[in-house]
């Protein structure tokens, strides 16, 4: 089972939003950042941008929060995916995600990264190399987990 995920390097992100545009076009045939499965967050006070991506957690909070089992792990890509057919729109997954990457589309569907069947379009679209599709290092996982815990603690 592949263990690759989207890995972001905020030091390389220029805030061009190409990843969002191509993601939205790939999934909904329109260039509309609100329809993307990732989000580039600007930190204007620091002059930086952070690509916020789904980390397809080993123990996904979103999957565990879903009361109707509409979220599962794809056996081919290891991606944590939402079944629109089973989703009842309760928002439990979005509330549980410490990365804030589950979004609601203009059609009311819950959106999250599905790794584009193992070939993420956002990685191809990122000409600066801020996004990669690879096995993450333990240091990277520790860093994003610490950030997630911090966000969860702040929400309580």
Measure the CA–CA gap between 113 and 101, rounded to whole angstroms. 8
Residues 132 and 55: beta-carbon distance below 8 Å: no
Measure the CA–CA gap between 117 and 114, rounded to whole angstroms. 7
Mean local confidence (pLDDT), 62-85: 96
Measure the CA–CA gap between 44 and 25, rounded to whole angstroms. 27
Coil/strand/helix, residue 3: coil
Q: What is the pLDDT of residue 79?
A: 95
Coil/strand/helix, residue 78: coil
Coil/strand/helix, residue 111: strand
Q: What is the average pLDDT value for the chain, to the nearest integer? A: 91
Q: What is the pLDDT of residue 128?
A: 95
Q: What is the pLDDT of residue 156?
A: 46
* CATH number for region 5-134: 3.30.70.20
Domain ranges of the chain: 5-134
Coil/strand/helix, residue 130: coil
């Amino acid at each position: 089972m592949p263990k690759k995920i989207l890995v972001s390097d905020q030091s390389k992100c220029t805030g061009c939003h190409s990843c969002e545009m191509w993601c939205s076009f790939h999934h909904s045939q329109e260039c509309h950042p609100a329809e993307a499965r990732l989000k580039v967050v600007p930190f204007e006070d620091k002059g930086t941008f952070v690509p916020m991506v789904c980390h397809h957690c080993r123990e996904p909070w979103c999957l565990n929060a879903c009361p109707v089992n509409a979220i599962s792990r794809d056996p081919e890509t290891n991606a944590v995916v939402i079944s629109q057919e089973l989703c009842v729109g309760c928002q439990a997954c979005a509330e549980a995600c410490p990365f804030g990457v589950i979004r609601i589309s203009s059609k009311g569907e819950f959106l999250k990264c599905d790794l584009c069947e193992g070939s993420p379009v956002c990685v191809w679209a990122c000409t600066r190399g801020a996004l990669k599709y690879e096995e993450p290092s333990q240091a990277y996982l520790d860093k994003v987990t610490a950030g997630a815990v911090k966000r969860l603690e702040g929400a309580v």
